Structure 1
Amino acid sequence: MFTDTQHATPSSNAALTEAGVTPDAGTLLSRFGTASSFFMATPELTLHGIGVRDQLHTGADQSMEDALQRLFALNREHGDASSIAVGALPFAADAPAVLFIPERLELAGRLERRGAPPAGPAVGGAATQERPSRERYAQGVAQALGMMRQSGLKKVVLSRMLEVVGEHDIDQARLLRNLAANNLSGYTFALNLQSETRSIRRLIGASPELLLRRRGINLEANPIAGTAPRSRDPGEDLSHSRRLLHSAKDRHEHALVVEAVADALGPFCSALEVPPIPELIATARVWHLSTRIRGVLRDRESSSLTLARALHPTPAVCGEPRELARQAIARLECFDRGLFTGLVGWCAANGDGEWAVTIRCAEIEANRANLYAGAGIVPDSQPWQEVDETSAKFRTLLDALHGSRP
């Protein structure tokens, strides 16, 4: 059974620093259904949005931050001084964001996932197709390695997609509950997207990576990069984790991301703490190298959205240098990433907020799901090892779709 572990939680559309009476987090998860527009469970709180009150729109002469502030000002005029905007930003800077203030926003404390069984299969009779194939993806990795030998490209993240087609419509609420049950930490989320049909189209996932959290003047970022598969055998699993922790290739890949995040946050901070060595974190399917960066904000006017956009995209999802990596991605990937490797989260009118990287996710509509996974390519990468890494990352959504426990 899901239970809430925090009781001082904010009320609907109240600032997160104000206590209110709300249902527990497990109740919010159970309420997720056709009327829901947003859901996010973080290590500290749970948000459930219903409907859309105001959608964010930007014009050629208006930045995203200015548009959001105007949206908050409009809500203040209608008596809501502590609005919270939720949604997602895409990977590409010129692609449209999905940001809105829900008609009703319910908030609670942390969602206790431990011990909760999966709710059962969310899809039946599924057929799958890879884009690109494993062989073609390995060839793309080899091409990226060739680019590194001929240019200043240090790292590029290459992705692939797995199309899943079920006999009947996918049960999106059950999929979300399965993700929450299988992923004991991190960020479980669901977001409504525009659809050209009457079907509900959503981005659903369980990300292990915090891009940025702002609480008052305190900031935290948690870049992850460097991956190894988990094993059912405890001894082998421990061996995998130790090998990752001491891997020169993975430590180099991780260091590129940490350096980029620290450099981007530096101008906003009066103090910044960057641990010298990474630690290990685990999801149900993979090990990651992780570094928790903490800072003190110099200027309270810098909202969580402003800070997140200054960081995005990090080398963890794009590469280094950024522009060369973008060019390589455009040349080697065969699909539009959309919101995959973007950001999902929330920003309050007071500037506080929390943004996770949209990885371990899928776009779901009717009986179809497009799953996404990527791997960071550096000079020491081996093409078929990167294929295996993306396959391991697909398992997060595949487990949830089939109602299995890793």
Structure 2
Amino acid sequence: MLLLEKASHYFSKKLPFALFVKPNQVQLNGVFQNTDELVEFSGQKGFVFSGFYNTKDVVLPFDSCEVIQENWSYEKHYQERIYFSDSEGVEFKNLVQKGINAIVENQFEKVVLSRKIEIPNDTINSIESFKNLVNTYSTAFRYLFYHPQIGLWMGATPEQLVKIKNGEFYTMALAGTQPYSEHIVWGEKEIKEQELVTDFIKNQIEDKVDTIKISDAITHRAGSIVHLKTDISGSIKSSIQPLVLVKALHPTSAVCGMPLQQARSFILEHEGYDRKYYSGYLGEWKGMENSDLFVNLRCCEFLENAVAVYVGCGITKDSIPEHEFIETFNKSRTIVSILVRG
């Protein structure tokens, strides 16, 4: 496959690139930048890679990059199972309890807390792992992104931040998590969490749109887990620039919390690590004409001697720390299960 070979060549030359496959599609897209310049995003058309908070938002501009498509034709690679020691249980459960205590004290209604799981890596192959990722999660936005000043990231996210086409928009409220089974029953905690995310999005954008339509919540499968999902769509006011809508949506309460400022302050003070580009957003940006952005979830970062897998969960007053820890472990399997050695 030419695009995978080209990506390997660019990586060896320390040149930026992005590979991605959209949900329910089999076309592999490649964006290749011929210099190592870091171009900060300010509305240019291109592939955007934006962080959670206070990071450099990067774009690979379409007008100065080589953009190529080809049909996906690789079969899944069956690899040895990768085991890792998930030893952060006590620490993360203590963090969750701090979040619950803050909610009970009315500091905020909800907060999304996360952790980074580092898997020792001296043999994991990013290209082979990406092949598995694409074949395993057909309904997700799947990507491999590299910039020498940012690093190598990979993910399969189920969550659309926003899709814009000719003045119309679509987004989603995605919250609540449990392992997939034939008989899904949602508890009060998950239903409430989903309602909070939906209300947050509605409140953030209702003064920027002419019309808004909100669906009922449905169960949405993402690999081996399921979420509650509400579709939100409508038309953008002609006086509103599309980036204004993006900034209103990011970060949603599905990755941060609400109220936004209080929840984000708690995260920055207590999480104990830098999320970098986890829970940021990425994808194609063409302004009002046709933009397709996704929240950077179910992702990992290839470090020098480890693969860092990023996972989080929404905390409300009804959260149970042990259950939230298990939820993050289940989410980590999305990435860990497709990693390939060699």
TM-score, length-scaled by structure 2: 0.88
CA positional deviation for 1:172? 1.1
Map of 1:50 onto structure 2: 32
| Change over 3 Å in CA distance of 1:346–1:52 after alignment to 2 | farther
Greater strand percent: which structure? Answer: 2
Against the structure 1 CA distance between its residues 261 and 30, is the aligned structure 2 distance closer, same or farther, given a 3 Å change threshold? farther
1:298 aligns with 2:298: no
Distance 1:309 1:86 in 2: 17
Q: Does 1:106 align with 2:89?
A: no
Deviation at 1:331, TM superposition (A): 2.6
| CA offsets 1:142-168 (integer angstroms, 9 cap, x no match) | 111111111241110110111011343
Q: Secondary structure at the match of 1:380?
A: coil
Deviation at 1:195, TM superposition (A): 4.6
2:190 paired residue number = 250
Tell me the distance in 2 between the aligned counterparts of 1:46 and 1:306: 29
**CA distance, structure 2, for counterparts of residue 163 and residue 151 of structure 1:** 33
1:127–1:166 CA contact under 8 A, matched in 2? no
In structure 2, distance between residues paired with 1:366 and 1:265? 41
Residues 29, 224 of structure 1: alpha-carbon distance in 2 compared, 3 angstrom cutoff? farther
CA distance in 2, matches of 1:107, 1:117: 18
* % identity of equivalent residues: 22
The residue that corresponds to 2:182 in the other structure is: 238
User: What is the distance in 2 between the residues matched to 1:338 and 1:293?
Assistant: 28
For residue 193 of structure 1, report the CA deviation from its aligned partner: 3.0
- Counting only pairs closer than 5 Å after superposition, residues 6-405 of structure 1 correspond to structure 2 as 28=3, 32-35=7-10, 37-43=17-23, 46-52=28-34, 55-57=38-40, 65=42, 68-69=43-44, 84-92=45-53, 94-101=54-61, 103-107=65-69, 117-121=75-79, 128=84, 130=86, 133-168=88-123, 170-195=124-149, 201-230=151-180, 237-239=181-183, 241=184, 243-244=185-186, 247-275=187-215, 277-299=216-238, 302-303=241-242, 305-348=243-286, 351-402=289-340
1:301–1:351 contact (8 Å) kept in structure 2: no
Q: Classify 1:390/1:326 alpha carbon distance in 2 versus 1 (closer, same or farther; 3 Å).
A: same
The Cα shift of 1:95 comes to 1.8
1:350 positional shift: 5.6
Q: CA deviation at 1:328?
A: 1.6
What is residue 7 of structure 1 aligned with on the other side? Answer: none
Q: Is the 8 A contact 2:126 2:340 kept in 1?
A: no
Following superposition, the deviation at residue 27 of structure 1 comes to 6.6
Q: How far is 1:383 from its partner?
A: 0.5
CA gap of 1:108–1:266, structure 2 versus 1, over 3 A, is farther
Report deviation, 1:55.
4.4
- Cα 1:42–1:306 change in 2 (3 A) is farther
RMSD: 2.6
Quote the Cα distance in structure 2 between the aligned partners of 1:156 and 1:219: 26
1:125 to 1:392, Cα distance in 2 relative to 1, 3 A: closer
CA distance in 1, matches of 2:2, 2:209: 38
Which ranges of structure 2 fall in alignment gaps of 5 or more residues?
Answer: 11-15
**SS where residue 299 of structure 1 aligns?**
coil
How many Å separate the matches in 2 of 1:100 and 1:329? 29
Q: Indicate the SS of the match to 2:170.
A: strand
Q: Aligned in 2, Cα 1:282/1:257: closer, same or farther, shift over 3 Å?
A: same
Q: Distance in 2 between matches of 1:396 and 1:300?
A: 41
Q: Secondary structure at the match of 1:401?
A: coil
Contact 1:120 1:174 in 2 (8 A): no
Deviation at 1:119, TM superposition (A): 2.1
CA distance in 2, matches of 1:266, 1:52: 41
**TM-score, normalised via structure 1 length:** 0.75
- Distance between the aligned counterparts of 2:3 and 2:128, measured in 1? 13
Please list every run of 5 or more consecutive structure 1 residues that lacks an aligned counterpart in the other structure: 1-25, 58-63, 70-83, 231-236
Give the structure with higher Rg (CA). Answer: 1
Contact 1:128 1:162 in 2 (8 A): no
**Match of 1:23?**
none
Tell me the CA shift for residue 301 of structure 1. 6.0
Q: Which residue of 1 aligns with 2:13?
A: none
Q: Label 1:107 to 1:381 Cα distance change in 2 as closer, same or farther (>3 A).
A: same
In the comparison of the two structures, how many residue pairs are matched? Answer: 331
User: Structure 1 residues 320 and 299, CA, compared in 2 at 3 Å: closer, same or farther?
Assistant: same
Kept in 2, the 8 Å contact 1:52–1:101? The answer is: no
User: CA separation in 1, counterparts of 2:195 and 2:60?
Assistant: 35
Q: Is the 8 A contact 2:82 2:336 kept in 1?
A: no
Q: CA deviation at 1:286?
A: 0.6
- 8 Å contact kept, 1:318–1:325: yes
Structure 1, residues 210-232: CA drift from partner, whole Å, max 9, x if none?
010011122110221000012xx
In 2: Cα distance, 1:202 partner to 1:220 partner:
29
* Deviation, structure 1 residue 186: 1.7
Letter in 1 for 2:241: S
Q: Do 1:126 and 1:167's aligned partners in 2 also have CA atoms closer than 8 Å?
A: no
In 1, distance between residues paired with 2:176 and 2:256? 14
